[in-house]
Chain A
Amino acid sequence: MIGGRGSLKLALDSVRSNKARSGLTMFGVIIGVVAVVTVVGLGQGVQRQIEAQTNQYGSNLITVRPGRTTASKGLQGLANTDLLFGLNSLNGLSTQDLHAVQTAPGVSVVAPLGIVSGTAQATSGPTQANLPNALVLATNQDLPAALSHSLASGGFFKSNDNTANVAVLGKKAAEALFEQDAPLGNSFSFRGQTFVVVGVFDDFAATPLAGTADFNNAIFIPLGTAEQLTQNQTLFYSILAKPDKTGVQPAVRAITNNMQAVRAGAQDFSVLDQRQNLAASSHVLTLLGGLVTAVASVALIVGGVGIMNIMLVSVTERMHEIGVRKAIGATNRQILTQFTLEAAVLSGLGGILGVLASLAVAGLLRVYTSYHPVIAWKAMIVATLASFAVGLIFGVAPAMKASREDPVEALRRE
């Protein structure tokens, strides 16, 4: 065996002496590693954000959604599940459902969430800003309690405001409409009516993978007012509930029973506690992650083939060198080690560069999107080792070719 440090230096020299080619060869491996590390980091980041929200809204929050969503449905579940509150445009829950939830025993607080479409236009304040397709949500006085969320300024509408033209804004919506944090008393028009701002919510933690349901952008109006605007056509994409002291599970069962009664036994809705909510989203994330990891593995393998290809070229080009090395006493094994190591160094370096690039990608995602990818150390180490292994595996064949070359023949080549 040639000394470990010596052959490593040789391999590095060889990579360095042909920078452009080495770089291009490593590209496949770099892409594969970036893909794997970024996806794993994103997945873990989203998971962490969802967990944080779960805690923010309270672990006893119960979510009623239209459609059957279970954690075990996998990809089909993905199709009709929004990750957090089940924003679902196909069907919705009706006021009867709301009533069923409200009358279920063991339930203390119930707040529906229904979308009312339209454009909001500020009618006071510094600009007459308008928000086309504003996220206007119809709800009731119980929402702050259901979300365990407080207001930054003003107050939420009370039960006797049910048909009043008042609104509570998310923080971003307030800034967009009135360019101020606490535009209390300012007004905006929506579907021909003028609404007065009575409160602004505290900042909600970012909602990953559910941009449309970002409460920071939302305008909350009383349910009764919304019903008048839509001629009682409001559908809820979600009903939030909190149990009383009897606990979450009895409340879930009671809600389920009541809902089934209303719907004549049909099981086209889901009652999820936060744990299930989390399980559903983490299942989807796991599936997504697995899928992308599979694709990335293919990229790694393709990168490996690229390395094999370039090593074959390199062996042919350096035939004379191989002859010289053999003439001065290199055994077949030493030549094999040299070239295999070179391939492994090439792709291992690709792996390390890939990890660095994925750090950069994670940084960019943090700055420019609401995602907060985690620095996935495990994935980075595994990806680097995997790319090193890919180099070893795909480097062996060219190295074998090099090591078996007849020294006289090899010396004759120039």
Chain B
Amino acid sequence: MSIIRLEHVSRLYGFGDATAVALDDVSLEIEPGEFVAVMGPSGSGKSTLMNILGLLDRPTHGTYQLHDRAVARLRANQRAKVRRDMVGFVFQSFNLLPRLRVIENVALPLAYKGLLPGRRQKKAADMLERVGLGDRAFYFPSQLSGGQTQRAAIARALVNNPKIIIADEPTGNLDSAGSLLVMELLAEIHRSGNTILFVTHNPELTRYATRVVYMHDGAIVHDEQTALGEVAATARKVLYTLPVQTEDHDLAGISTLMKHVPSKSDVKPEPKAKSKAKTTKTTPKTKKRAPRKAKK
């Protein structure tokens, strides 16, 4: 029994000539207990996929079954309740409410569920204890480090015992130490049986995943199972060995030069998350055009 079953899901924006396809006929099944890394260049539809899986957004076409419940056509209020009860969100920019204390932030989903203040407080405190922030409960988010803030956000995502946890680049704003803390926490949550999906640009982080999904132009182009603790085979290839030859380069007359660049990065990627983020930022153009060439 799969916990997530997407069938022929598309998400279109705009009308007529101006229609943009964010998701193009995506089908995806995820089993309970999977730890899925979603990779792909900017604009490849990762976030749209996450939004639809997390019921923030509705697919234009297709069906979506979450925990055997058809949720693709639910109305806003029902989607809100499904989000509240079955989905935990972790964001790149943490998104804790700055005016609430950490414990109040964590307790917020419980408040929306209608729990009484006493029980909210207790559950939120337990959850903060679990992520190792028991002593920071009454701090404000601005008084925490990045890694601590993200752990508080994870506590908030977990507090309603969701079926799935969706993390959109959870380490995107963190330094390597913070990233490590956050990923170890997610791994621990995964070990205790949760289903987790996370978006990342960092191939190193696929070590934590049991499955890696690659997206491009709104479609899933590659899907592989991977052993825990190992970097997925294609992860490096996709990001670092794509052909970089483009028309722009031809025009500039440097294509021959550039051809030799990729071979260098067969070497293990840089250990620092920060420098990697830089690399990914500078490469989207190249990556986008790559598969077209590959098809030829």
Contacts and interface: CB of A to CB of B under 8 A. Distances in A.
Given A1-B114, A3-B111, A330 B80 contact: yes
Given A3-B117, A331-B77, A407 B109 contact: no
Contact of B116 (A1, A3, A326): A3
The listed residue with most B CB atoms (<10 A of its CB), out of A6, A327, A411, is A327
Interface string A1-13: 1110110000001
15 contacts: A2-B114, A3-B115, A17-B99, A324-B97, A326-B80, A326-B83, A327-B89, A328-B83, A328-B89, A328-B157, A329-B83, A329-B109, A329-B112, A330-B112, A334-B112
Given A324-B95, A411-B56, A329 B117 contact: no
A186 interface: no
A333 interface: yes
A5 B56 contact: no
Interface in B99-158: 99-100, 108-109, 111-117, 156-157
Contact of B57 (A2, A329, A331, A408): A408
B85 interface: yes
A186 to B, nearest CB: 74
Contacts of B83: 326-329
Contacts of A334: 112
Contact of B112 (A13, A17, A331): A331
Interface string B199-224: 00000000000000000000000000
Contacts of A330: 80, 84, 112
A332 interface: yes
Given A6-B111, A13-B99, A324-B95, A329 B84 contact: yes
A196 B116 CA distance: 84
A321 interface: yes
Nearest to B114: A1
A332 B81 CA distance: 10
A408 B51 contact: yes
A31 B113 CA distance: 40
A48 interface: no
A149 interface: no
B76 interface: yes
A407 B111 CA distance: 19
Interface in B44-83: 51, 54, 56-57, 76-77, 80-81, 83
Contacts of B195: none
A14 interface: yes
B81 A331 contact: yes
Interface residues of B, number: 29
- Tell me if B's interface is mostly helix, strand, loop or mixed: helix
A408 B108 CA distance: 19
Interface string A398-414: 00000000011001000
B160 interface: yes
Interface in B141-199: 156-157, 160
B80 A329 contact: yes
Contacts of B91: 324, 327, 411
The listed residue with most B CB atoms (<10 A of its CB), out of A320, A321, A411, is A411
A407 B56 contact: yes
Contact of A333 (B77, B95, B100, B111): B77
The listed residue with most B CB atoms (<10 A of its CB), out of A5, A330, A333, is A330
Among all A-B residue pairs, the 4 with the closest Cβ atoms? A329-B84, A331-B80, A324-B95, A331-B77
Contacts of A407: 56-57
Contact of A6 (B56, B57, B76, B117): B117
Contacts of A14: 99
A285 to B, nearest CB: 48
A332 B80 contact: yes
A329 B97 contact: no
B84 A328 contact: yes
A321 B117 CA distance: 21
A333 B81 CA distance: 11
Contacts of A327: 54, 56, 83, 89, 91, 95
Contacts of B111: 2-3, 6
A328 B109 contact: yes
Nearest to B160: A329
The listed residue with most A CB atoms (<10 A of its CB), out of B51, B80, B116, is B80
B252 to A, nearest CB: 35
B205 to A, nearest CB: 22
B97 A321 contact: yes
A349 to B, nearest CB: 18
A3 B99 CA distance: 18
A324 B153 CA distance: 11
The listed residue with most B CB atoms (<10 A of its CB), out of A5, A328, A333, is A328
Interface in A294-343: 320-321, 324-334
